[in-house]
Amino acid sequence: MIKKILIGSAVLLVAAFAWLQLVFVPGTDARMNPVADLGPYEVGEAAQKLHDTLYVADLHADSLMWRRDASKRQDRGHVDLPRLREGGVDLQVFSAVTKSPRGLNFAENAADAPDDITLVALAQLWPPRTWQSVYERAVFQAQRLARYEADPANDLVIARTAADLDQPDGTLVGLLLTEGAHPLEGDVANVRRLFDEGYRAMGLQHFFDNELGGSLHGQSGAGLTEFGVEAVREMWRLDIAVDLAHASEAVSRDVLDMPEGGPVFISHGGMRDDCVASRQRNLPDALLRRIAQRGGIVGIGYFEGAVCDITPGGIANAIVKAIDLMGVKAVALGSDYDGTVATAFDTSQLAVITHQLIEAGLSESDIRAVMGGNVRRFFEESLP
Ligand SMILES: [Zn+2]
């Protein structure tokens, strides 16, 4: 009898585990990273022809968080290596999400709310060292990208120096970014350790206030802490670019006021436009202009909040407005692909943006700048 119960329990456990891994985990990924079917979208012959000659770069994808084989084309989410190639992408910034408060919203999140990335780590069988440590979660995601780089079949290079940007056609460049600097775990020496893992850009906050200062979606609205100042100084000393996406207005101002004046950008965002989400999600125009004035760039996101209309035409409109506000040299793509957002197209379909930028009347040289030229220039200047 006891033997039967034991065998029965073991069978149930195995079945539950199989369901979790084969149904629940991929199903959650697919549900959290949908492509809204708002098409069909037009890509004219001239647009496709131009797109094929562009240097295309995107400033923000959270793909390393999900358990997918990125070397194969997947039918869920937004980004994998084959789809990046189909979309003509030359450089993709991969960001590492390490902590995310339950009930995520643009208005206000508590730093001590239950953390959903702990569940992501457990359910996707990340190594035990990542279960309690946000630092180890950043290390794990960098190592995930390094494993893809190690397989020559993937033809992927992680940008560690400016020279790494210079690759033959067909080679994909990945660049590592932390989404928030809480992985430092309050120790400035961890800037160097994460640099050694390959990180060349660091966000300061994500959806909650952390040791460095306030989040745009946190509770304090605080500026840079003393530790924040020290950490930013160390980032710049090591040629790590500072990402102000999700940073509070006060943090952004404090960083822009620092006399060291290192590289600053916004990996994914937009302007305060005509919807509540965009007003809560984005920095005011004056701060965006200050970022542009010192050679920084702003990646326009493809999700509601970054923009108010996520169709290709809506994103092109936001790009045109951003050019009017900051000048063409400051505007870039910052999809937030695989960041638990709904987008209207995945990365394989990026030519739809080129098409819409032509429709919007942008010149060829402006399209080249926005689609990737600006990102390349920014990292050529910021990387070691
Ligand atoms: Zn984000």
Rounded to 5°, angle at Cα 206 from 372 and 336: 35
Query: Ligand 1 centroid vs 267 CA: distance in angstroms?
Result: 8
Query: Ligand 1 centroid vs 367 CA: distance in angstroms?
Result: 25
Q: Are residues 15 and 94 in the same domain?
A: no
Query: Ligand 1 centroid vs 147 CA: distance in angstroms?
Result: 24
The structural domain count of the chain equals 2
Q: Are residues 108 and 4 in the same domain?
A: no
What's the pLDDT at 55? 98
What's the pLDDT at 37? 85
CB 150 within 8 A of CB 166: no
CA distances from 357 to 314, 362, 380 (A): 10, 6, 25
Query: Ligand 1 centroid vs 356 CA: distance in angstroms?
Result: 25
Query: Ligand 1 centroid vs 355 CA: distance in angstroms?
Result: 26
Query: Ligand 1 centroid vs 44 CA: distance in angstroms?
Result: 32
Q: Are residues 133 and 262 in the same domain?
A: yes
Q: Does residue 353 belong to any structural domain of this protein? A: yes
Spans in the chain with pLDDT lower than 50: none
What's the pLDDT at 363? 98
What's the pLDDT at 249? 98
Query: Ligand 1 centroid vs 214 CA: distance in angstroms?
Result: 15
Residues in CB range of 271: below 8 A, 6 or more apart: 278, 282, 285, 288, 318, 321, 322, 325
Q: Are residues 162 and 227 in the same domain?
A: yes
Query: Ligand 1 centroid vs 301 CA: distance in angstroms?
Result: 10
Q: Are residues 59 and 91 in the same domain?
A: yes
Q: What is the CATH number of the domain that holds 285?
A: 3.20.20.140
Query: Ligand 1 centroid vs 209 CA: distance in angstroms?
Result: 14
Query: Ligand 1 centroid vs 199 CA: distance in angstroms?
Result: 17
Q: Does residue 260 belong to any structural domain of this protein? A: yes
Q: Are residues 239 and 102 in the same domain?
A: yes
Query: Ligand 1 centroid vs 221 CA: distance in angstroms?
Result: 17
What's the pLDDT at 4? 87
Domain that holds residue 343: 45-382
Query: Ligand 1 centroid vs 3 CA: distance in angstroms?
Result: 51
What's the pLDDT at 188? 98
Q: Are residues 108 and 176 in the same domain?
A: yes
CB atoms within 10 A of CB 24: 13
Query: Ligand 1 centroid vs 134 CA: distance in angstroms?
Result: 16
Query: Ligand 1 centroid vs 203 CA: distance in angstroms?
Result: 9
Q: Are residues 27 and 115 in the same domain?
A: no
